[in-house]
C-alpha cells in the first residue's frame, strides 16, 4: 500500500478504499502474510484487460497503416498478438523510399512505446520481394500466409 501511495500520489486511506472495493468486486486478490501483502489482479480480469490493451494497440497500428494506404500493400500481426511467428509485425510495402520507411518505423515504435512495449520485431519487405519469395515457395512467406488471419 505504501508503494502504491508513493507511485499514485494518493493518500493511504484512499488507496485502501479502492483496493477494498476492487477486492469485494472480485477484481483484485489480496494475499496477506504476517509481514507482507501481495495485491494481484484476478486472472479472469487480467485476460480481459490484456485483450482490450492489445485491441487498442492493433487499432492504432491499423489507423497508421491506413494513413499510408497508398504505400502499404499488406500487413500481418504476429507474436505480441498471440500468433506463432517470431515477428511482432510484418509490413509489405510498395512505392516507399528510404525516408518514408524510416518515418513509418519511427511511428510504429512510438505507438508501441506509448503502450510500454520497448522491444518490437518488425519486418519490412517490398511487394516485389514478397512476390519473388512467394514464387520461390520461401518458408517465411508461406508460414505467414498459412497462419495469417484477417488483418483486423
- CA–CA separation, 81 and 103 (whole Å): 23
Q: Are residues 13 and 70 in the same domain?
A: no
Q: Which residues of 37-66 are buried (b: 16+ CB within 10 A; e: fewer)?
A: eebeeeeeeeeeeeeeebeebbebbeebbe
Tell me, yes or no, whether 152 lies in a domain: no
Q: Can you give the pLDDT at residue 79?
A: 64
Task: Tell me, yes or no, if the pTM score tops 0.85.
Answer: no
What is the C-alpha separation between 129 and 27, in angstroms, rounded?
48
Q: What is the mean pLDDT of residues 102-125?
A: 90
Residues 73 and 130 in one domain: yes
Q: What is the mean pLDDT of residues 1-11?
A: 77
**What residue numbers bound the domain in which 136 lies?**
46-147
Cβ pair 41, 49 in contact under 8 A: yes
- 84 shares a domain with 23: no
Best-predicted range by mean pLDDT among 5-9, 74-78, 99-103? 99-103
Count of structural domains, the chain: 2
Tell me: do 27 and 66 sit in the same domain.
no
Please write the tens of the pLDDT for every residue from 114-138.
988 888 888 899 999 999 999 999 9
Q: What is the mean pLDDT of residues 136-143?
A: 90
Amino acid at each position: 500500500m505504501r508503494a502504491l501511495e508513493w507511485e499514485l500520489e494518493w493518500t493511504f486511506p484512499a488507496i485502501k478504499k479502492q483496493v477494498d472495493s476492487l477486492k469485494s468486486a472480485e477484481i483484485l486478490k489480496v494475499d496477506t502474510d504476517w509481514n507482507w501483502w501481495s495485491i494481484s489482479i484476478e486472472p479472469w480480469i487480467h485476460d480481459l484487460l490484456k485483450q482490450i490493451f492489445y485491441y487498442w494497440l492493433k487499432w492504432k497500428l491499423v489507423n497508421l497503416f491506413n494513413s499510408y494506404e497508398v504505400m502499404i500493400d499488406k500487413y500481418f500481426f504476429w507474436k505480441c498478438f498471440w500468433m506463432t511467428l517470431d515477428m511482432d509485425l510484418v509490413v509489405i510495402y510498395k512505392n516507399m523510399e528510404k525516408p518514408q520507411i524510416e518515418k513509418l518505423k519511427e511511428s510504429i515504435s512510438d505507438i508501441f512505446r506509448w503502450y510500454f512495449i520497448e522491444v518490437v520485431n518488425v519486418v519490412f519487405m517490398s511487394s516485389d520481394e514478397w512476390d519473388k519469395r512467394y514464387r520461390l515457395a520461401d518458408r517465411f512467406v508461406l508460414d505467414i500466409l498459412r497462419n495469417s488471419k484477417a488483418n483486423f
